[in-house]
Amino acid sequence: MSLFIDNSTNIATPIAMELCKYHPYYLLGETIWRFGALLCVLLGMPGHIIIIIVMLNRKHRRQPICLYFTTIAIFEFIYLISMYESNYYSLVFTSNYVPS
C-alpha cells in the first residue's frame, strides 16, 4: 500500500501516524519508553533523597560544594515528581495498545 505524502500540506501525516501506531515495533518501543521512564523516575527519587540527606550531614555541610549538590538534588527531585505525574497519567489514562 503506497501512501502519497504531499509536502505542501500535512494531510497525509495523521494517516501515516495512525498506520504506524499498530506496528508491533511501535508498540514495543512505546511500552519500553513508558515503563522505562517510569522506572528511571522511581529509582531516581530515592537517590536524590539520599544525596540530600548525605550532603546536609554535619560533616559535609561546611563544604560549599555540598550546598550546590543539595540544591541540584532538590530541583531534580521536583522535576522527577512532575515527570512521574505526567508519566503515570499518560500510562493510566491513554493507551494506544490494540490487542490483535
DSSP strands (E only) in 25-96: none
When divided into structural domains, the chain yields a total of: 1
* pLDDT category of residue 99 using cuts at 50, 70 and 90: very low
d(CA 38, CA 82): 11
Q: Is residue 41 part of a domain?
A: yes
Which domain, by its residues, includes 80?
A: 37-100
The yes-or-no verdict on residue 12 having pLDDT over 50 is yes
Q: At what angle do helices 64-93 and 24-55 cross, to 10 degrees?
A: 150
Q: Is residue 24 part of a domain?
A: no
pLDDT value for 51: 92
What are the pLDDT digits (tens) for 36-91?
A: 877 887 888 899 999 999 998 888 888 889 889 999 999 999 988 887 777 666 65
* pLDDT category of residue 92 using cuts at 50, 70 and 90: low
d(CA 39, CA 50): 17
Q: Is residue 68 part of a domain?
A: yes
Which residues, in sequence order, are CB contacts of 4 under 8 Å at separation 6+? 12
**All cell numbers assigned to 19:** 498506520
Q: Is residue 6 part of a domain?
A: no
User: pTM of whole model > 0.75?
Assistant: no
